[in-house]
Structures are given as C-alpha cells and as structure tokens.
Amino acid sequence: MTNDPIEPLEIARNVVLVDVEVLKNAVLLACRAPSVHNSQPWRWVVEHSGNIYTAHLFVDRQRTVPATDHSGRQTLMSCGAALDHLQVAMTAAHWQASITRLPNPNDPDHLAIVEFSPIDHVTAAQRQRAQAILQRRTDRLPFHRPSYWNLFEPVLRGAVDDDVAMLDVLTDEQRPLLVQASQFSEALRRDDASYHAELDWWTSPFALAEGVPPSALASDTERLRVDVGRDFPVRSHQQRRAQITADWSKILVLSTPHDARIDVLRCGEVLSTILLECTVAGMATCTLSHLIESRESRDIIRGLIGQRGEPQVLVRVGITPPIDDFPSPTPRRPLASVLEIRRKPEKG
C-alpha cells in the first residue's frame, strides 16, 4: 500500500490508549458492511504514536465499479456503511468513535478520521447492533410482509436524524410505479456491454474473497417473484421459498437534503443503521441501488417521495420463512488486504 499523506487534526486531544487487537476486530466487522456488488471499495489505515491509535478510511479506487456507478455515489455510500459499522463495533468494545468526515480537501479519497475515547457503559441495544453485523445478509429472494410494521416503523424513524437523511416508506399503491422504475433502469442498461461485463465479473462463481456468489443470487425462476430487484446474471435454477409467490416486502427510501459527497457518505452511515435495526428485529433486508443509477429512474423515485430531497438508496424489508436455512455470509477480503498499520510521522 502507498503512504498517503494524512492531514493531522490541529486539535488538542486527550491521550487515549486503544488495544490494536480491538481495532483489528472492529475493522473486520466494519468490512462486513454491504457494498455495491460486494466490491468492498474501502481501505483502512491505522496510525499510531506509541499506544495512541487513530483510524483513517479511504476509498480504494482499484475496487470501484465505474460502469455500474457512474456518479460514484454507491462507492461513497458503501464506505459510509463501513464507517458506521466500525463505530458500532467500537461502541460494543467500550470505545466511543469521534468522526471527522472528508478531513482533507486535497485528497477526496480520504473519507474520515476516527479517534476514540473510552466509555464506561454499553447498553444491551448497542451490543445487539454489533452482533447484528455478523447476522445481516443481503437477501435477494422474495419476502413475506413484515409483522407488526406499525410498531416497528417508529423505531426506524427514531434511529434516523432528519437533518442527515429522510426516511420514506412507500405504500402498496406506489409499488407499480416502483416496478416501472426498476424495469426502466434495466432497459437503459440492456445494450451497455461494459455494465454487463462488470456484472459478470463481480458474480463470477470463482471469486473467493469478493463479489456475489451464486448462492446469494436469485435463480432464473426466483427472480420472477421479486419485481423490483436488479437483473443479475443467472447462476442457478433453484426454486427456494416457493411458498412465497410474490414479494410482499416494505420498500424504504433514504434521501438526503442535498447531493454533495458529504450527504452521500452520511447516508451510507444511516443505511447501516437501518439495516442493523431491521436485523435486530428479525427482519430480512435487501439494498436496492440500481433504481438510483440513472437520472430517469431516480426522477421516478423522487416523484414517489413528494419531490423532497435527493433519493440515494432503497431497501426491501420483510420476513423470511422460519424453516429457511440461514444464508452463508458473502466472502470478504482478508484483513491484511484492507488494513495497514503504521507509525505516525513525527512532526518537524
């Protein structure tokens, strides 16, 4: 890895001693965050001076998906989700994360500096969110309608800061327009050779530490029962959840007041919060990003939420049959390939 210049924070800090093994474990959990095509477009640098450790999050430009993500929004959002996962993991380990976002205007790939201070008490809810990081899966199969949604929706809304992102829950009556947006998005990409080549690459059955394995994709028949999913390459002919004849998920939309890089990064953090809260509640989720990739489909989503804010990502939420086998986790790169630990340069 290259030695990127890291701008020091010109603020007096209390001396904080973090066990490097705690940080390593937290980075491992952070890297369980969802990312577009499981591309894992992040890189962590942990600097230390003696026993004082500071974490830095960078975009890994070698792992972006330019044909899918022309705007770079999904890369930023993926990194934002990883940043929140790190914060959740460190909180469960009794460390509060203090985050400075986009700290270096001369380096757009330097997304965050994270410093740590000890906390005495960790709540049961905070521990459950950290455990949910390992339990969460992106589930592309059809869902049952979520139970007790009227009780759970206020919990989700309470977890979202409206100044950072707005949460909308689409109605069943709006679903046909959402399906139209999904079909329109796919139609625009039908003849895009680079896009399909990218999908083929990231869904290769031979990928061992990245991408979407065949077991995590809907088969040729299963995909017909999920009317708003992305059209991935067909890798199997299974017929799982045959008893769910159509997808009855709730569809959430996260939007931001503006469309600057900081808005998208922070929306990724909120996405992490939403996914973990749903997982703690026993609900399955699937992030939908293809509906935001074209201006035309994004305009349809904007109309569905009343022209307020900038739509950034959608999420399907539902219930899976209790007898379902728990899906295997999708692969992740080894820690050594995403984390560099180095001594902080001496001043002067």
61 and 125 share one domain:
yes
How does pLDDT run across 150-194, given as a tens digit for each residue?
Answer: 999 999 999 999 999 999 999 999 999 999 999 999 999 999 999
Give yes or no for a contact between 63 and 38, defined as CB atoms under 8 angstroms apart: no
129 and 74 share one domain:
yes
How does pLDDT run across 270-292, given as a tens digit for each residue?
Answer: 999 999 999 999 999 999 999 99
311 and 177 share one domain:
yes
Confidence of residue 6 (pLDDT cuts 50, 70, 90): very low
239 and 109 share one domain:
no
Residue 318 burial (10 A CB sphere; 0-12, 13-18, 19+): buried
Nearest-angstrom CA–CA distance, 84 and 320: 26
Q: How much is the mean pLDDT over the chain?
A: 92
121 and 28 share one domain:
yes
How does pLDDT run across 188-227, given as a tens digit for each residue?
Answer: 999 999 999 999 999 998 878 999 999 999 999 999 999 9
Domain containing residue 38: CATH number = 3.40.109.10
| DSSP H or E stretch at residue 306 | none
- State yes or no: pLDDT of 86 exceeds 70: yes
Entry pTM? 0.93
Any domain includes 348: no
Kindly report the backbone phi and psi dihedral angles of residue 80, in degrees, each rounded to the nearest multiple of 5, phi listed first.
-65, -40
Any domain includes 139: no
Give yes or no for a contact between 104 and 110, defined as CB atoms under 8 angstroms apart: yes
Give the rounded distance of the alpha carbon of 308 from its chain centre: 23
Confidence of residue 14 (pLDDT cuts 50, 70, 90): very low
228 and 174 share one domain:
yes
- State yes or no: pLDDT of 319 exceeds 80: yes
Give yes or no for a contact between 279 and 125, defined as CB atoms under 8 angstroms apart: no
Domain that holds residue 37: 20-134+333-343
DSSP state, 163? T
Give the rounded distance of the alpha carbon of 189 from its chain centre: 23
What does the pLDDT read at residue 345?
74
